[in-house]
Structure 1
């Protein structure tokens, strides 16, 4: 709760101590939950844009943005947490000076941010954001530069999400899936995207060798999805060897890897699926 003693100096000091206390408690709570600390850490603009793939940027102008949408920083990720509470007392005097100015109604200049989808990352004005959040404000004026990315900037809450985006970007750069195929080839384990890329490229190499022709990346992506992924997934569904919680691409990878381990070939037939089913049954009983 924001206090008001009538003394802007005393209240600013109280504001800072309250923000620091909440930051420490949030960090401790994340540690107790086990492995969730990166959820409360400020996100790095460079890491996010690298994971998503930078395409272009353009200046939007000055507008009012929601403070809750500001999730990270360009260069001060260690100085503030995800809610922009200070992580140390290093800049306490500057913080309290801004808090006093805000409390006495002084004009505060706009902050400077990058916008990536619905997320904002501070270039300049970290302390202004921190003070505004501490005082319970909902919005802040900002000069906005929008950044366009290869992948949609959604579902980013932790570094694991960034790792998944990073590997998915690499897959799409190597195998440019579009439309239905792009949506279908989704997995939860980040490095599985690398396995999918290698699987598609290996399939294309074998196909080009057998046909004596060359296919570009676009053709490779289209043909693998239509001639390999969709028919095999139908076989997996009919054979009943897809796990109840498995995504289509995860089921394909698991069965394809099991097929090669058991039979050492790349052909698909009913015998392959029966061998996979039998192996799965044995593993459940053991």
Structure 2
């Protein structure tokens, strides 16, 4: 029993709710003081996440014990709870306190139901149960899990704003269908750079088809661009110490644009690298 408990389960359940609400308000205030985006403290919306990542399939996993800190989103109750499933208003108080009371009395609580995307979980049913479990300091919870497989992984998603870059990356990989290590290697920080890079690869592929005199599918263009263009250029940039604090793909995109601006050519040689090095000094 916590030092703050009174020993009266109903009273303690009421206090649990008030503490959870107070922490939610303080978290909002802290975010405002730090001038963080509005979406930092909201639960991630499941539909937006799978749309950004590209839904492929799903399968029923069954009853599992999952970590509470892996439950980050909701299917349809995002406004009632924040990212840590603290209640955002008194609207949920009656049901919340009823569940807290049952938990404190040791009564059986049904498993929640969730979608799993990567290592993240999104609540279908059981938002109040997750909220109460957090408030009572639990580390895990029973859940019926349905796994959703997506085109992109869910790694790196912390808040809603991260979905933008995931969405642009998914679209880029649809236009430039790299796979395996090649797909993992081509990364940029600015979502719009994926659109620019996609246009660049498609233009490179068009020139390749003109040179060879026949059509190539997207997979072939992507593979040949990566092996014959991207890797050699990135290697030269690394040797010339021109990557800097950018990702390799960002350095490639910069130098590809500069090459055309300075040289009006698509060749790569020492003369091009030296011309590109000059403006960077």
TM-score of the superposed pair, with normalisation by structure 1: 0.92
Measure, in 1, the Cα distance between the counterparts of 2:131 and 2:241.
54
Could you list the runs of 5+ residues in structure 2 that have no partner in the other structure? none
Q: Does 1:233 align with 2:234?
A: yes
Matches for 1:139-150 after TM superposition, within 5 Å: 139-150=140-151
Moved segments of 4+, more than 4 Å: none
Q: Counterpart of 1:260?
A: 260
How far the C-alpha of 1:194 sits from its partner, in A, is 1.4
Render the CA deviation track for 1:203-224: whole Å, top value 9, x for unaligned.
Answer: 0011111221111111111110
How far the C-alpha of 1:15 sits from its partner, in A, is 0.8
Matches for 1:97-176 after TM superposition, within 5 Å: 97-176=98-177
Render the CA deviation track for 1:46-82: whole Å, top value 9, x for unaligned.
Answer: 1111111111111111122121111110111121111
Q: Counterpart of 1:247?
A: 247
Measure, in 2, the Cα distance between the counterparts of 1:106 and 1:232.
64
How far the C-alpha of 1:38 sits from its partner, in A, is 3.0
Measure, in 2, the Cα distance between the counterparts of 1:175 and 1:262.
26
How far the C-alpha of 1:36 sits from its partner, in A, is 4.8
Measure, in 2, the Cα distance between the counterparts of 1:265 and 1:28.
54
Please say which of residues 122-131 and 104-113 is displaced more in the overlay: 104-113
Q: Counterpart of 1:284?
A: none
**Alignment RMSD (CA, Å):** 1.7
TM-score of the superposed pair, with normalisation by structure 2: 0.93
Q: Counterpart of 1:210?
A: 211
In structure 2, relative to structure 1, the CA distance for the partners of 1:43 and 1:172 (3 Å cut) is same
In structure 2, relative to structure 1, the CA distance for the partners of 1:178 and 1:122 (3 Å cut) is same
Are 1:2 and 1:135, in contact at CA under 8 Å, matched by a contact in 2?
no
Q: Counterpart of 2:189?
A: 188
Measure, in 2, the Cα distance between the counterparts of 1:128 and 1:121.
13
Are 1:112 and 1:122, in contact at CA under 8 Å, matched by a contact in 2?
yes
Measure, in 2, the Cα distance between the counterparts of 1:162 and 1:196.
19
Measure, in 2, the Cα distance between the counterparts of 1:276 and 1:231.
16
Q: Counterpart of 2:179?
A: 178
How many residues align? The count is: 280
In structure 2, relative to structure 1, the CA distance for the partners of 1:142 and 1:240 (3 Å cut) is closer
Measure, in 1, the Cα distance between the counterparts of 2:169 and 2:189.
10
Measure, in 1, the Cα distance between the counterparts of 2:190 and 2:113.
35
Q: Counterpart of 1:23?
A: 24
Measure, in 2, the Cα distance between the counterparts of 1:248 and 1:176.
18
How far the C-alpha of 1:37 sits from its partner, in A, is 4.7
Give secondary structure in 1 for the equivalent of 2:91.
coil
Are 1:42 and 1:82, in contact at CA under 8 Å, matched by a contact in 2?
yes
